[in-house]
Amino acid sequence: MSRRECDSCPLAAPPADGHPRKARVFAIIGPPNSGKSTLFNRLTGLRQKVANYPGVTVEQRVGKVRLARDHEATIIDLPGIYSLTPCSEDERVAQRVLTGRMPGLPRPDAVVLVLDSNSLSRHLMAAAPVLALGLPALVVLNMADELRSRGGQVDVAALSEHLGAPVALISAARGEGLQAVYDFLQGRLPLGSPRIDRALLNDIPRCRQWALHLGDRAWQPPAPPVWTQRLDGLFLHPVLGPLIFLGVVVAVFQSIFLCARPMMDALQAALNFSGQLVAQAMPHPALRSLVADGVWRGVGSVLVFLPQILLLFLFMGILEDSGYLARAALIADRTMARVGLQGKSFIPLISAYACAVPAVLATRTIENRRDRIATILISPLMTCSARLPVYTLIIAAFLPERPLLGPLLGTRAAALLGLYVLGFLAAIATAGLLKSSVLKSERTPFVLEMPPYRWPTLRSLGLLLVDRAKIFLRRAGTIILAVTVLLWGLAALPLREGRRPPIQQSYAAALGHALEPVIRPLGFDWKIGVGLISSLAAREVIVSTLGALNGMEADAASPELQQALRRELTPASALALLIFFAFAMQCISTMAVVRRETGGWKWPLIQFVYLELLAYAAAFAAYRLASLWL
């Protein structure tokens, strides 16, 4: 934000400056809840992607907008900010991009500054520092439809005169008034010269004076949002509020399990069928095995979670866009604060019960980086659905079903519930540990803006789902594919007479034998060792691996496999295995997504080592204790 950078800015240069050049680059910036992303989605549609920069965890999207034939512009969607004082990571990222100091991104040629026309005098405070940077800017006053219906008015001409920049009144959600934005992107709007005193830049009180003054002259504030007040009366009601909150959580949780199930079954069937088709087309048996058992089954075991993940994000999207998520965070905050976390950690942790991968992605709503990392680190301890087949198999094999509380609760259900509670307690203890040590917060105050309630638009929900599906599929197509091929190689090599060897003679068995001394203290033999290695791809893979090791096609309900397990494990070592799975991070997908979200290998490695050690220690203790009793 120094003067030097401003001197070199192309303020006076006309937009299309004669010689042919690359697509011009625009940055969209504005305060949170100004509808910035709605405008970005409206302009770019599907032609956008999430951009990642080294060391930057703030989500940033870059998209293309077609302006005319053979003519397009690049648009960068910057994080929502209130000022450019480099206080938060969001603000630092925005500032670095706007001043051209973000590696891998060109300095934007111009800025589209989005403000909510319903909160104009407050949002103008964010405008001053951006305009003062001296980049050519279009000031977009968004949500014009809401301003009209709430009886507010804005004098666009007067505002433009005072700001020294073109001003457009639009509604991005409805696509109203967008022509002015397109004109600006094509360089057809007169630019004016910003009249912002640079002294305003970091002086928030003066900035506010300026904004209030300007707001008074050019803006008539709308009536307070009646519906928001009414709905808050309901959602934040001392008694009804928490009940509705619980209802919402249960509904989300249930539908992730129930509604996703048929879709997952259908997807699984389709994957099995296509796998067979492809395998039949393969000439060589080894190649057939690689494709069918390695690639198809491995990637398939991850792909089946796609419906669940998309469903979760659909709910998250609706909750966030409608404004309810902020209320939910408010309600959950007090409880979460007890373990050193905050309200916004609640929803990601709940979704980790389905799968840690979307949970980690969902932590993006947490601005405080330390809270976000703490939430990411504990999310694999929530009992995800991939553990269910493992738990079911072992519990069914070792625990006879007896009623505990009459017909309500049997021994097996109680054991399952116990494992859920165990994971939850470990998560709380870990959060407390983290927040009192490595992730001790610098006491950043918990600040949460409550946006007015709004209808989510189909367009942004759709784009959100496409975006999340792309991230997930890209991951399944790269790191998970590689790992599953590797695991297949371990289980299916070395070839004997061009065929897959019995698994007892495979590399996996050799590795299992090598691992045996380490896991022997837990009561596990080499077969469990092979299962543990294979379950790194996805936890439930251990079920099919154990099946293969015992020479059977197996699922968790198979009585033969249960019998085989009873020969292999003592009750004490079965308990140790359950406890190991409750804590261990047996999931390459989660590691991959944590690496992506934290911008490096540091946190996923710490997480992996911590959780494996925790799992090992707890399983060891359980094995020793249980050996005394059982």
Residue 466 to residue 455: CA distance in whole angstroms: 20
Measured from the CB atom, the residue of 205 and 406 that comes closer to other proteins is 205
Both structure tokens of 498: 């061009």
In the complex, the smallest distance separating the C-beta of residue 300 from other proteins, rounded to whole angstroms, is: 44
Task: Give me the torsion for CA of 174, 330, 427, 90, rounded to 10°.
Answer: 50
Both structure tokens of 59: 């989500």
Number of residues that bind other proteins (CB under 8 A): 37
Candidate list 182, 253, 420, 446; residue touching other proteins; CB under 8 A: 446
Three-state SS for 165? coil
* Bridge partners, residue 49, by sequence: 62
How many CA atoms does the CB half-sphere of 416 hold within 13 Å? 18
Q: Is 117 in the site for other proteins (CB under 8 A)?
A: no
Candidate list 331, 336, 396, 614; residue touching other proteins; CB under 8 A: 331
Residue 274 to residue 584: CA distance in whole angstroms: 32
In the complex, the smallest distance separating the C-beta of residue 146 from other proteins, rounded to whole angstroms, is: 13
Footprint of other proteins on 217-236 (CB under 8 A): 221, 224, 232-233, 236
* Bridge partners, residue 138, by sequence: 112
Q: DSSP characters for 83-126?
A: --STTSHHHHHHHHHHTT-STTSPPPSEEEEEEEGGGHHHHHHH
Measured from the CB atom, the residue of 17 and 449 that comes closer to other proteins is 449
In the complex, the smallest distance separating the C-beta of residue 143 from other proteins, rounded to whole angstroms, is: 13
Residue 240 to residue 224: CA distance in whole angstroms: 24
Q: Which residues contact 420 (CB under 8 A, 6 or more apart)?
A: 383
In the complex, the smallest distance separating the C-beta of residue 446 from other proteins, rounded to whole angstroms, is: 5
Candidate list 79, 134, 136, 241; residue touching other proteins; CB under 8 A: 241
In the complex, the smallest distance separating the C-beta of residue 125 from other proteins, rounded to whole angstroms, is: 7
Residue 608 to residue 237: CA distance in whole angstroms: 42
Measured from the CB atom, the residue of 221 and 294 that comes closer to other proteins is 221
Residue 26 to residue 116: CA distance in whole angstroms: 19
| Span of 9-17, 36-44, 107-115, 118-126 interacting with other proteins by CB under 8 A | 118-126
| Span of 9-17, 420-428, 446-454, 556-564 interacting with other proteins by CB under 8 A | 446-454
Q: Which helix (H) or strand (E) holds 628?
A: helix 602-629
Q: Is 1 in the site for other proteins (CB under 8 A)?
A: no
| Contacts by 619-623, CB closer than 8 A, 24 or more apart | 619/522, 619/576, 619/577, 619/579, 619/580, 619/583, 620/521, 620/522, 620/576, 622/572, 622/575, 622/576, 622/579, 623/521, 623/522, 623/523, 623/572, 623/573, 623/575, 623/576
Asked if 572 and 623 count as a contact pair (C-beta separation under 8 A), the reply is: yes
| Span of 113-121, 433-441, 546-554, 616-624 interacting with other proteins by CB under 8 A | 113-121
In the complex, the smallest distance separating the C-beta of residue 311 from other proteins, rounded to whole angstroms, is: 28
Three-state SS for 245? helix
- Compute CA 531 distance to the chain's CA centroid, rounded to the nearest angstrom: 29
In the complex, the smallest distance separating the C-beta of residue 166 from other proteins, rounded to whole angstroms, is: 25
Q: What is the DSSP letter of 504?
A: G
Asked if 354 and 384 count as a contact pair (C-beta separation under 8 A), the reply is: yes
In the complex, the smallest distance separating the C-beta of residue 215 from other proteins, rounded to whole angstroms, is: 10
| Span of 7-15, 156-164, 323-331, 353-361 interacting with other proteins by CB under 8 A | 323-331
Q: Is 85 in the site for other proteins (CB under 8 A)?
A: yes
Q: Is 83 in the site for other proteins (CB under 8 A)?
A: yes
Candidate list 37, 118, 430, 607; residue touching other proteins; CB under 8 A: 118
| Span of 22-30, 203-211, 488-496, 537-545 interacting with other proteins by CB under 8 A | 203-211
Q: Which residues contact 426 (CB under 8 A, 6 or more apart)?
A: 381, 582, 583, 614
Candidate list 13, 46, 87, 404; residue touching other proteins; CB under 8 A: 87
Measured from the CB atom, the residue of 70 and 442 that comes closer to other proteins is 442
Candidate list 18, 238, 283, 406; residue touching other proteins; CB under 8 A: 238
In the complex, the smallest distance separating the C-beta of residue 83 from other proteins, rounded to whole angstroms, is: 4
| Span of 81-89, 138-146, 516-524, 550-558 interacting with other proteins by CB under 8 A | 81-89
Asked if 310 and 465 count as a contact pair (C-beta separation under 8 A), the reply is: yes
Measured from the CB atom, the residue of 169 and 546 that comes closer to other proteins is 169
Q: Is 448 in the site for other proteins (CB under 8 A)?
A: yes
Binding-residue pattern over the window 546 to 575 for other proteins, x denoting contact by CB under 8 A: ------------------------------
Handedness of CA 573, 577, 578, 584 (dihedral sign): positive
| Span of 46-54, 328-336, 350-358, 562-570 interacting with other proteins by CB under 8 A | 328-336
Q: Which residues contact 591 (CB under 8 A, 6 or more apart)?
A: 585, 604, 607, 608
Residue 401 to residue 412: CA distance in whole angstroms: 6
Candidate list 334, 470, 496, 566; residue touching other proteins; CB under 8 A: 334
| Span of 135-143, 329-337, 378-386, 529-537 interacting with other proteins by CB under 8 A | 329-337
Contact residues: other proteins, CB under 8 A: 82-83, 85, 87-88, 118-119, 121-122, 125-126, 204-205, 208, 221, 224, 232-233, 236, 238, 241-242, 326, 330-331, 333-334, 337, 343, 443-450
